[in-house]
Structure 1
Amino acid sequence: MPEIFINYRTGDGEQAATTLDNALRTRFGDDHVYRASRSIAPGDLFDSDLISNVRTSSVLLALIGDRWLDKPTLGTDEDWVTKEILEAFRHDIRVVPVLIGRRTERPAKRDLPDSLLWLTDCQTLRYDHQTDERDLKHIGDALADLVPALAAADRTAHQPDAPAATGNSTGDLHNSWVVHTGQVTGSTVHIGPDASRHSHHTVHQNGTGANYVAGDNHDGIRQSFGATPPAEDGK
């Protein structure tokens, strides 16, 4: 059962409808979003399919662009955009107008038929392609807050946290190789055969974020990672 029904007018909001459909399905799953041109299967009766899915949804997104008011049949049963919105209203389904583009304003009451006057009192959301990522996230967040089933299905809420930085602390090691990654602190490190019986000959290579030591080592190796600026004269 779709929780989100995307209502849009052909010639006014189909591109935004497709973008919203893809983004919301990615976030909440295919089964939670309905868009007629994708969701109606070939051979299905589109009128009954539209009405039944409006009635079983939790929220209807009414996409309104700058040509939304141009339809002469607006407010009548001949206009499917109107029929879907009124069907949601009659069944107490939340209707959220989504204004398409930064310049689109909510329709004024003087421009609406009596059956849709209540639409001007609904709080709106906005989608603009120039702020695409921000607007899609904001719309998704708002829907997750409004509909518990969407919050439970929200894939962004279940993403694992980034792994913590690796911390290593090394004491005395004999006849061993030691590799440190991330934050490193150490005391005395012996690499190679028992350093107590051999000379203190080493090959030692340093660099920002890396330290390489080979040979017999004794009396400690201290390691520090990260660039340290050279001291100025007199400092």
Structure 2
Amino acid sequence: MPPETTGRAIFISYRRDDAEGEAGRLFDDLVRAFDEKSVFMDVAGIQPGSDFRKAIDQNVASCGVLLAIVGPHWASITDAQGNHRLENDNDFVRLEIASALTRNVPVIPVLVHEAKMPSADVLPENLKDFSYRNSVELTHARWNSDVALLVEALRSYVHVAKEHETEPIHATVPVQLPPPQPPQPDESASAKSRTPLFAGIAVAVLLAVGAGVFAATHHSQQPAQTAPSPVPAPAPVTPPAPESAALTPFIGRWQNTAQLTPKDSLLRLVVSNGGSQMLVHAYGKCEAGPCDWGTQPAIVDGSKAVTSAYQLRNNPQEVQLERSATLTLEPSADGLGVTITNSYQDAGTHPPGKALTYTFARATGS
């Protein structure tokens, strides 16, 4: 494989007729957040003359995570003969996602344009597991914040040098430019204009002398007016810094200390400071192995922090019941107490179960 296409940690898969604009915009943001060598954008990085099937398989094998950009027509787009592209064994998108699923590479569906996850019955056999992957959504209205959450979630998959790590940059305020330099005077023009300049200076001196004589001989009877004191400009307002001290007990990598059974869900947490909010990336222990819950913001209230709801679709039952879960985190001398509260779309037929509480310990090196 060509050296420039090796070792890409993030693989972006998309359909040009479905979400090319969003894929390109996300690619630019991820390159800014990590570096160009850590992001591979499907066939755009395959050299002419290469076997695209082998190139795709090799690039997927070397990546840490695959992002599948799903627009509203992702599963229904057809070729020139009217056949669904997903039914073609050599469809690029099918090859990319199937290769990742076969190699147990994490696959994150990224929904754009209010797209919905495709159900398993519309997918070919080697893509059916894709319908059970927990998805994230990118919207035009919240693009910057949505991408920031995605970037934070991807940090556990991507390994780049510290000097390349940065956040996506989106200019939302005017940029302060230095004042323009005054034009340098032309020497020849300056020489030609000296005579009228001297004449003007002489006239100004005569006028000043005359004004002085007039002022000395005609004292005003009006009392001298005191110049008003200048009003000081208001001091600039500095925005309050995030209360990072309040987040310190939560920040870090945490591991569940309980002996988990296949039905138990929460395995580990990665808690980070997202700048204006705390972010909690959760990983579960599903029946088929580890699964990614995704990242949600959390609100700190006193000694506790409560996350937004995770939309869990890691098995057919969760898909059917539309399971949601919130986490309550509370640091203690023993570690981090984590309480899971489940809810379901149809609470009448499947009411929420009792809350489950676990004790998490800091992972080694956290």
Higher relative contact order (CA 8 A, sep 6+): 1
8 Å contact kept, 1:8–1:14: yes
Q: Distance in 1 between matches of 2:33 and 2:129?
A: 30
More helix by percentage: 1
User: Structure 1: how far apart are the matches of 2:49 and 2:127?
Assistant: 32
Matches within 5 A, 1:63-78: 63-71=69-77, 72-78=84-90
Q: Does 1:207 align with 2:231?
A: yes
Q: Is the 8 A contact 2:18 2:74 kept in 1?
A: yes
Q: CA 1:151/1:110 → structure 2, altered by over 3 Å: closer, same or farther?
A: farther
2:149 matches 1:149? no
| TM alignment of 1:57-96, pairs within 5 A | 57-71=63-77, 72-96=84-108
In structure 1, what is the Cα distance between the partners aligned to 2:37 and 2:55? Answer: 15
State the one-letter code of the partner of 1:90: T
Letter in 2 for 1:111: V
Residue identity matched to 1:109? A
How far off its partner does 1:25 sit? 0.5
Contact 1:143 1:150 in 2 (8 A): no
Distance in structure 2 (CA, Å) of the matches to 1:67 and 1:136: 22
Distance 2:63 2:27 in 1: 15
TM-score, normalised relative to structure 2: 0.41
Contact 1:40/1:49, CA 8 A, preserved across alignment: yes
Q: Is residue 28–residue 150 contact of structure 1 (8 Å, CA) maintained in 2?
A: yes
**Given the alignment of the two structures, is residue 108 of structure 1 paired with residue 114 of structure 2, yes or no?**
no
Q: Alpha carbons of 1:43 and 1:205: their partners in 2 closer, same or farther (altered >3 Å)?
A: farther
Corresponding residue for residue 40 of structure 2: 34
Counterpart code for 2:132: D
Counterpart amino acid of 1:79? D
Counterparts of residues 153-192 of structure 1 (less than 5 Å)? 153-156=164-167
- Percent identity between matched residues is 27
Shift of 1:66: 0.7
Following TM superposition, by how much is the alpha carbon of 1:12 offset from its aligned partner in structure 2, in angstroms? Answer: 0.8
Q: Is the 8 A contact 1:51 1:84 kept in 2?
A: yes
Compared CA separation, residues 92 and 49, structure 1 to 2 (3 A) = same
User: Given the alignment of the two structures, is residue 132 of structure 1 paired with residue 139 of structure 2, yes or no?
Assistant: no
Separation (CA, whole Å) in 2 of partners of 1:150 and 1:135: 22
Change (3 A) 1:114 1:40: closer
Q: Deviations over 1:10-56 (max 9, x none)?
A: 20121111111111001101000001354234454433322211110
TM-score normalised by the chain length of structure 1: 0.62
What secondary structure does 1:130 align onto?
coil
Counterpart of 1:4 in structure 2 is 10
Which residue pairs with 2:130 in the alignment? Answer: 119
Q: Which has the higher strand share?
A: 2
Structure 1 pair 156–73 and aligned structure 2 pair: CA distance change class (3 A): closer
Q: Distance between the aligned counterparts of 1:42 and 1:207, measured in 2? A: 69
Distance 1:73 1:37, change over 3 A: closer
- Contact 1:61 1:98 survives alignment (8 Å): yes
Q: Does the CA contact (< 8 Å) of 1:75 and 1:116 recur in 2?
A: no
Aligned to 1:24: 30
- 1:82 Cα shift? 0.8
SS in 2 for 1:34: strand
In the TM superposition, 1:37-48 aligns within 5 A as 37-48=43-54
What are the ranges of 5 or more consecutive residues in structure 1 without an aligned counterpart? 158-202, 211-224, 227-235
Whether the 8 Å contact between 2:107 and 2:133 is mirrored in structure 1 is yes
* CA 156–42 in structure 1, closer or farther in 2 if over 3 Å, else same: same
The whole-number CA distance in structure 1 between the counterparts of 2:161 and 2:111 is 23
Shift of 1:109: 2.4
Whole-angstrom CA distance in 2 between matches of 1:148 and 1:46 = 24
